[in-house]
Chains A and B, each alone.
Chain A
Amino acid sequence: MRLRRAVSALVLSLALSVTVACGTPVTVVTPQGKIAYTADQIATRVGELEQAAIQANTTKDATGKPGIPDTTAIPLVQFCISAEKTLKATPAGWQASVTTAWAEAKKAIPPADAQKLAVVIQSVDVVLAAVGGGL
């Protein structure tokens, strides 16, 4: 099961890398469209991180404890909202602020919680790295 997860993460990473590295689809021709396409790729990965954090927080284990505590989930969701707003408002100029905010948000995640969210954290890292804002 752990191996399957690891391979899934690898495949996801490769798929994301290829998707972003290959650039925008040929049907997107204007500079604004290309910028929006890249920003939407980041917005989607950040949204997946947000959904994973919410799901982990709302899912309780046998003892009634959430998968990740509020102290981890709330700052992560606040980062995601802030990143989404930046991506929407400045699709051509999000890199510095989102990358810096992501570095800070990632540092604040306790290792045990980071392990539970490893796949989505990795996908945000991969997509940011692929567009030059990587860590």
Chain B
Amino acid sequence: MTCPEELPVEEEVVPDAPAGDADDQAAGLWRYRQVVAGIPGLSVLAFDHQLRVQIAEGEALRRSGFDGAGMVGRLLDDALPAPALNRLRVPFEAALTGRTSNLCYRSPVDGRQFRLRVTPLYGRSGDVVGGVSLGQDSSADLARMAQLEHLERLGNVGGGWFDLASGWTFDPQLLRLLDVETDAEAEQVCARIQLPGHAYGWLGFLGVLTTNGSASAQGSLVDAKTGQLRQLFGTGTSTRDGDDRLLHAVITVTDVTDSIDERERAQEARAAAAQARTLLIRRVSDVLATQDRTIPELTQSITDIAATAIGDGALLRILTADGQGIETQLISHSLPAAVDRVRTFVEANSDFLGRPEFRTPTGSGDSWVHLGDPGPRRQHTGPGVRPDTPPELRHVVVAPVRHIGRVVGYLMVFRADRDRPYEPGDDDLVQVLADRIGDAVVESRVQQVLEQQRSERRAIVEQLAEMTAEQHELLEQLADVAERERSVLAEAIHDDPLQLIVAAILRMDLLQVSLPKPQADELEQLAETLQESVEHLRTLIVALTPPDLSDGVGVALRELAEALFIGTDASVTLVETAQPNIVAPRGPFIYRVLREALMNARKHSQATAIAIRVVQEDASIIAMLSDNGVGATVFDAGPGHLGVATMHARARSAGGRLLIDSAPGAGTTVTLTLPAPEGRAS
């Protein structure tokens, strides 16, 4: 039994009393709205004489996609779609003439079924000022009716009727159903039917079915022969008089035991399916939680899982970070040919995955469900199957791979089997998987960016270290070249001018003996002058000669200092606590830096005391040169005088640092700190 479309099942004139005054009317409407708004499946629509909407409320309206508040003040012509208004215009206009209509109404928008009661609305004067339509979504009731019809067809069905003259009469089917032979026995068996939880269970099965009007009840009965519990479902239509005396009744009774078992089995199957989904999500979570897998491996795993668990196959497309291109596309299916066909199709129909809606016509057995972009899910009917659609895509669910409101890709599962369409819940499952993938993909992108930044930083640090090492090597090579040149120069000075002058002095000394005193004195002065130049040349030679570090850099520096300060009043002291063999690898380096400092001291300091310290503290070698000379504030002598700058550069290039501490009148201390050679630090 169905409710025929737009056919008034009942039409009556109800002499409703007019409202007392406008306030009462407003208060009444307000209460009406409150009640209606709170009841699921109800809606209320009030309109005036011009069919202008006064009130539009209720969950049923919202569910049908209407914005109640937005409808108020608009003409129904404007507020309702034309097909809907065409069907409702007659009862609405009837209400304006004072008539109440009850009707069944199927929405042309979404196909839902409503029971509507349209009543006139009276003003203070008692005139009809408009109408009110109260609607109840009866789709669920209709579904139940359809189910009952189905059960009647499937199960054992019997009937009976009652009238005052004959009492109860049961048809043979019902007698057989109850396993009795007479009407009286049937009545007795009916009295044994249990109605647990039924509000009017105390009336008994027949009593419940014959309350005035339509009624239904389900009860259980222990089979007298087998002891099995049987489930019986009955419906009845009855008439009772003012004293509640049963005048007339017709009942139908169905044995629904098998159907209920069937339903329980279906419930079990649904529970098993739900459990399977939970397990699937668990599997995917486990895959995602695996630390040592790369993103390509993860996405491949998840696509494979989706293919085997929900699809016959699955396709995962990850978009590039800007959303414009395809970064990765994976297709998983047991048949390579199917993979190729699906790939060809989605490549030829570039908008297929991203379409907000698509569904094949009903009747073909195909179902394509495209879940919406980040907003609420939508299902729509679409233009139908494209001619190039491969058979694998008979049933399709596509879900956007989302991350915080952004679509980063698509996950599609598909099946070819006509008899295995996707079920409610599968779309949710696919969306859940897609979202998990979205999180993983975005997280991996963040990780990639971080990793890239890290490696860039590492590369810069390495490059810097390399450059420092190169600089160190260059400086040392330069120093070696300079050392060789110094050596050659020292030899040249020693071999030529020095020897010539020494020979000249010897000859002058010998000559003096044979000269008269004035000339001899003159010659002596000359010899002394030459001797002074010899000392200077010697100092130069010492400074130019490569150091002999066999007794440690401290000793070599002291000898250099002594040579440099020869002919001055300066004393040279050495404190060397570092083990020479530990310092040895750094010896030439320390020597070169402090030689520069010593030369500076000799040239500028006018010092009378020079102290050299080579000590080791923890992992550092510290070489210091102190003088008690005039000191200075500025050590940058300008272009062409690169001594101090070179000392600093050398120190840095060897991973050390150079500190020059000086003030006018307070002497100068040059401190070179170097890391001790690895593995030899104390």
Q: Do A and B come from one complex?
A: no
Which residues in A have some Cβ–Cβ distance to B below 8 Å?
A: none
Which residues in B have some Cβ–Cβ distance to A below 8 Å?
A: none
